[in-house]
Structure 1
Amino acid sequence: MSMQLSLLAEETTVAPTGLVYHEQFLTAPEELDFLAQIDASEWLTDLSRRVLHFGFKYDYSNRRLDESARIGAFPAWLTSLASKVYTAASEDVQRLLEAQQPFEQAIVNEYQPGQGIAPHIDRDCFGPAVATVSLGSAINMDFSRDATGDEHVQRLEPRSLLLLHGEARTTWRHSIAKRRKDEWHGQVLERKRRVSITFRTIADLIPAQT
């Protein structure tokens, strides 16, 4: 199921333009297969949460990308998922991507209950479209726009796809609160382990320093 978020009601205040949500993007067997591929990889632990980098390793300290960050092509399972994301995207998003290689960088984040990520906009070294596939637990993602004070909460269900472009990509911050439970439709729901796969293109690649 796909919907433009301006059509949502109960938890919506002002929805970001350019935010599109596909709830049933993956099947349950596909989710299990991707989780198995991820857990067979070697996690990095240099953040408060476990992460994996593909394509390019993002430098969190310098907040930039250069040629030295290139770590090789996506594995086959990730290439397959990137292609599936491209196929599901709207024509507006597809025009920002390339059919043969829609994304050049991917990061996998593991969120245990109580873990989150601070409000942010993806750096401008990344391109105009960002896609996130959610595996495992559902979670609330918070959106805010400082210029207007607008806010929006989007529930990210397991096996869903979130696409950001336009204002949703460039002027709205997104975050995940550090808590063990979320409230949604009047219910308090416990978090479990969530794994996200975020795909990006590269907009500004700095030459490697020598």
Structure 2
Amino acid sequence: MNTELLLFADDAAVTPDGLEYHQGFLTPVEEDVLLAQIDASEWLTDLSRRVLHFGFKYDYSNRRLDETARIGPLPEWLTCLARKVREAASADMKLFLDQQRPFEQAIINEYEPGQGIAPHIDRDCFGPVVATVSLGSGINMDFVQSATGENHVERLAPRSLLLLYGDARIAWRHGIAKRRKDKWQGQTLERKRRVSITFRTITDLRSAQD
């Protein structure tokens, strides 16, 4: 993907089945409280962007999870947010969520202007639903259908919630281009600092000896 390419909303050929978007999921006050809590934590700098792991620390090198990755239960402030995510989900999405099994893992990513993440599909060690809350700057997220090459652009506004399940979860790669501005509905929008909180469940926790 050309990281300098600016995509318009009209570039989207189709919307992935299983993509659910909730604008205004959080209030500005809730956003400020979350950002303060996050910035009081100790960021990791092993990647090109700053990250925080909760529940389990994902091994980017081996692309797997085992018992050595377990950190512990999510802190209360993340547990409350995860509960709010579940409550906001549509009835169709709730069919993919085990109501007896809460989200077990959260990763927080910080994206400064010019930073992004390569197109990818979350590994199958994670469950059928991936939920992402956006804080700070809005951003364009690019989706590409792995088999057909069809594309879709979703504008993730501040304080929004994105849920992926079904085809959107397993058949479409999603990523964020490394650029400082996006095109959306005919406007050029400058990026600022964005922080994302992504919740997942664990389906394949291997032993450390595997």
TM-score, scaled relative to structure 1:
0.93
Q: Which runs of 5+ in 2 are unaligned?
A: 1-8
Residue aligned with 1:103, SS: coil
User: Which residue in the other structure is 1:171 paired with?
Assistant: 171
User: Which residue in the other structure is 2:43 paired with?
Assistant: 43
State the superposition RMSD in angstroms: 1.3
CA distance in 1, matches of 2:15, 2:122: 18
CA distance in 1, matches of 2:90, 2:41: 31
CA distance in 1, matches of 2:156, 2:163: 11
TM-score, scaled relative to structure 2:
0.93
CA distance in 2, matches of 1:157, 1:92: 23
User: Which structure 2 residues correspond to residues 73-152 of structure 1 after superposition, within 5 A?
Assistant: 73-99=73-99, 101-152=101-152
CA positional deviation for 1:100: 5.3
CA distance in 2, matches of 1:206, 1:30: 36
User: What is the percentage of aligned positions where both structures have the same residue?
Assistant: 74
Q: Which runs of 4+ in 1 moved over 4 A?
A: none
User: By percentage of residues, which structure has more strand?
Assistant: 1
CA distance in 1, matches of 2:11, 2:128: 26
Q: Which runs of 5+ in 1 are unaligned?
A: 1-8
The residue type equivalent to 1:44 in the other structure is: L
User: Which residue in the other structure is 2:59 paired with?
Assistant: 59
The answer as to whether partners of 1:97 and 1:103 remain within 8 angstroms in 2 is: no
Residue aligned with 1:163, SS: strand
The residue type equivalent to 2:188 in the other structure is: V
CA distance in 1, matches of 2:176, 2:107: 16
The residue type equivalent to 1:119 in the other structure is: P
The residue type equivalent to 2:19 in the other structure is: L
Query: How big is each residue's C-alpha offset from its partner over 1:66-117, in whole Å with a ceiling of 9 and x where there is no partner?
Result: 0110000111100000000000012232232233542010000000000000
